[in-house]
A and B are shown apart, each in its own frame.
Chain A
Amino acid sequence: MSSKRPNQLFRNMPAKVAAIPMVVTALFIFVGGTAWTVVYSFTKSGLLPRLKWVGLDQYERLWGTNRWLVSIENLAIYGICMLVLVFVIGFILAALIDQKIRFENTIRTVILYPYALSFVVTGLVWQWILNPEFGVQGIVRDLGWQSFTFNPLYSPQIAIFGVLIAGLWQGSGLVMVLMLAGLRGIDQEVWKAARVDGIPTWKTYIFIVIPMMRPVFITTLVLVVTGIVKIYDLIVAQTGGGPGIATEVPAKYVYDMMFQAANLGQGFAASTMMLVTVALIIIPWAMLEFGGKRRV
């Protein structure tokens, strides 16, 4: 054996070799593509990318467009409500199932099932359910309550909540199974210790169990947040952005600008704004989470 410390470059060699394709992909596609997009957002690209500089014109136009502002507002409403509700619903469902109920597998499958559907199917299903003539409203009226009104998709002020319902229906199952996995990972003896200590169940959840589930919460948070930011297909399938522009979202704005309005520069500017927003949220959080001294 040599007494020299092995070269750091060659430690864990197989793992490093295996990571090369992913690293290359990440560098070229993600970093390269992102940089390219940002650069072209300062140009007057129309149908095709052209390096004709216009400075911040695209951004000025973007922030002067009502549809973009509505999109941002919708994303904020949808995002905050979705984030809060999907966690609350998912966690409560998981906590209920964790009580060693019967038919656990069946119930878990039923609740997780929507997640296996594509957003297009979810969108269509909820378009029908919320349709005033054939859906919930129609059924309740047929039962005799003639004045019953439940018509979110056709009222611009609340249409985004119609989308939210569909999003929750689809997303809660995933959060539930992740939370359930987290709950099952908690040592039963901790529960017993808390009972012996006389801690009420709700307090045990809040002060002991949920803090222990921190890693699961972070994983779930990442999955849910990425799902929110890139929401596109649900909107297209369920409302098409309507009524009017009531349910427009940023991702749809980007897509429409690039591929329908033949205005690449505008699309690039919008997607750069999305990137900046995400970065503004992620970077401070990542610095808090991973920076500073290592936590135990």
Chain B
Amino acid sequence: MTFSVEIKNLDLHFGNVAVLQQLNLDIHEGEFLVLLGSSGCGKSTLLNCIAGLLEVTDGQIFIGGENVTWAEPSERGIDMVFQSYALYPQMTVEGNLTFGLKNAGLPKIEIAERVKRAAGILQIEPLLKRKPAALSGGQRQRVAIGRALVRDVDVFLFDEPLSNLDAKLRADLRVEIKKLHGQLNNTMIYVTHDQIEAMTLADRIAIMKGGKIMQLASPHEIYNRPRNLYVADFIGSPSMNFLNGEISGGNFMVGKLTIPLDGYEFAKGSRQEGKAIIGLRPEHIVTGDNLASAAMRTKVTVELVEPMGSDTLIYATLAGTFIHVRMDGQVQAASGDEIEIGFLPDRASLFDPVSEERL
């Protein structure tokens, strides 16, 4: 199996602050990898290291099987798309697309062909003679992607390319980037702190925290089997409910509640005992018609209702903890109502309260 990008024991320090520590990451050929994490966790730093815009303190980077740790950015077979677009404002769109190619001494015909192809894919032909100031945000970002396209590289790096756009445009461009990936089949590494972007685009997501990768897995795996408490809490909106309790004899005990754990797959294969935290996603606490499938039911009093259209969020107190439950949007509920809720233990996550790892 060849990897498109391999990162081995990467360290990066700014002065004496260690931003990346012993980071390892292998990215497959043609994979769409999303780096996701809260602000300041080192996503951009990692991307800049891959691009060669930052000198690594220690470790190695391979792209296409070649050690490029000390290669110039332009020699790495990568291109990068930035959050602020970083277009050259005094040049036309065409100038932006061709400047690097002309500088590299490519023949005119070849340049024209590449520009034509990129402009066709991104539908920016009518804009070629305009300057960036005369473009909308979405168009600018398209041009920025075009600048990467014409270079004909193997690996695309995106640093929050959609963050400066409004919600509607973001959703549109997201779909376009996904289509583009399907069309080109390049390796793409994409930094974002938008969960939806990460879930929808990624083949695999790397969740980062404090310069380390907490979990690297498919969106489905990350959502349903978060490896630790941080990932569980970070992914999902509204976030997971956590109840502090104890596992004993195949049941999770919290307050007066006993939740049977039949069907829960323990990470170590065998059943664990002792103190634990159970994590339940708001949509994995069932109500109404779905109660039949629940392993255990109880009644709670609705304290707050947030109708969101497609579904409705209910806030209530369960075993001394404030929880939220996602209900069908058609259900009418008011605060003060008493409703019945049920739990799906096979969908739950259990964590060790000390190591915060998945049990």
A102 within 8 A of B: no
Check A193–B82 contact: CB distance below 8 A. Answer: yes
Bound-complex Cα distance A197 to B80 (A): 9
Cβ–Cβ contact B84 & A187, under 8 A? yes
Q: Are A197 and B90 in contact (CB under 8 A)?
A: no
Kindly provide the distance from the CB of B99 to the nearest chain A CB, expressed in whole angstroms: 7
Q: Is B11 an interface residue, CB under 8 A from the partner?
A: no
A sample of 30 cross-chain residue pairs with beta-carbon separation below 8 angstroms, ordered by A number, consists of A189-B82, A189-B83, A189-B84, A189-B85, A189-B86, A190-B87, A190-B88, A192-B48, A192-B53, A192-B80, A193-B80, A193-B87, A193-B88, A193-B147, A195-B53, A195-B74, A196-B53, A196-B73, A196-B74, A196-B79, A197-B74, A197-B99, A197-B100, A197-B151, A198-B75, A198-B104, A199-B100, A200-B103, A211-B90, A296-B133
Which B residue sits closest to A192, measured CB to CB? B53
Closest to B103 in A: A199
Per-residue A-contact encoding for B85-123, CB less than 8 Å = 1, 0 else:
111111100000001100110000000000000000000
> B194 contacts the other chain (Cβ, under 8 Å)?
no
| Contact assessment for B103 and A198 in the assembled complex, using a CB-CB cutoff below 8 Å | yes
Could you tell me which B residues sit within 8 Å of A by CB distance? 48, 51-53, 72-75, 78-80, 82-91, 99-100, 103-104, 131, 133-134, 147, 151
B153 (CB) vs chain A CBs: closest residue: A196
B51 to chain A, nearest CB (A): 6
With most chain A CB atoms within 10 A of its CB, the pick from B53, B79, B83 is: B53
Extra inter-chain contacts (15) besides given A193-B87, A195-B73, A198-B74, CB under 8 Å: A187-B86, A190-B86, A190-B88, A193-B88, A196-B51, A196-B78, A197-B100, A198-B75, A199-B103, A203-B103, A207-B88, A208-B91, A211-B90, A212-B89, A296-B131
Residues of chain A within 8 A (CB-CB) of B53 are 192, 195-196
Q: For B133, what are the chain A residues with a Cβ–Cβ distance below 8 Å?
A: 296
| Closest chain B residue to A200, Cβ basis | B103
**Which residues of B lie under 8 Å from residue A190 when comparing CB positions?**
86-88
Closest residue of chain A to B130, judged by CB? A296
* 10 closest cross-chain pairs (CB), A and B: A198-B74, A197-B100, A211-B90, A189-B86, A193-B86, A189-B82, A196-B73, A296-B133, A190-B86, A195-B73
Q: How far is the CB of A202 from chain B (nearest CB, A)?
A: 12
- Report the minimum CB–CB distance from A24 to chain B (whole Å): 37
CB B165 to nearest CB in A, in angstroms, measures: 16
Contacts of A214 in B (CB 8 A): 90
Which residues of the other chain, A, contact B147 by a CB distance below 8 angstroms?
193, 197
CA distance A187 to B52 in the complex (A): 18
How far does the alpha carbon of A193 sit from the alpha carbon of B85 in the complex, in Å? 9
Residue among B79, B83, B100 having the largest count of chain A Cβ atoms under 10 Å: B100
Contact between A192 and B89, CB atoms less than 8 A apart: no
Q: Which residues of the other chain, B, contact A203 by a CB distance below 8 angstroms?
A: 103
From B53, which residue of chain A is reached at the shortest CB distance?
A192
Q: Which residue from B82, B90, B103, B151 sits with its C-beta under 8 Å from A192?
A: B82
In the bound complex, do residue B72 and residue A198 qualify as a contact, i.e. CB atoms below 8 Å apart?
yes
Other-chain residue from A192, A199, A200, A296 in contact with B86 (beta carbon distance below 8 A) = A192
Within 8 A of B (CB), among A207-229: 207-208, 211-212, 214
Chain B residue, CB-CB nearest to A214: B90
Residue of B nearest to A198 (CB): B74
What residues of B have a CB within 8 angstroms of the CB of A189 in the complex? 82-86
Measured in the bound complex, the distance between the Cα atoms of B73 and A200 in whole Å is: 12
Bound-state Cα–Cα, A207 to B102, Å: 13
Alpha-carbon gap, A196 to B89, bound state (A): 17
> Shortest Cβ distance from A252 into chain B, in angstroms?
41
Contacts of B104 in A (CB 8 A): 198
Write the chain B residue with the least CB distance to A193: B86
Asked if B86 and A208 make an inter-chain contact with CB atoms under 8 angstroms apart, the answer reads no
Most chain B beta-carbon neighbours within 10 Å: one of A187, A193, A207, A212: A193
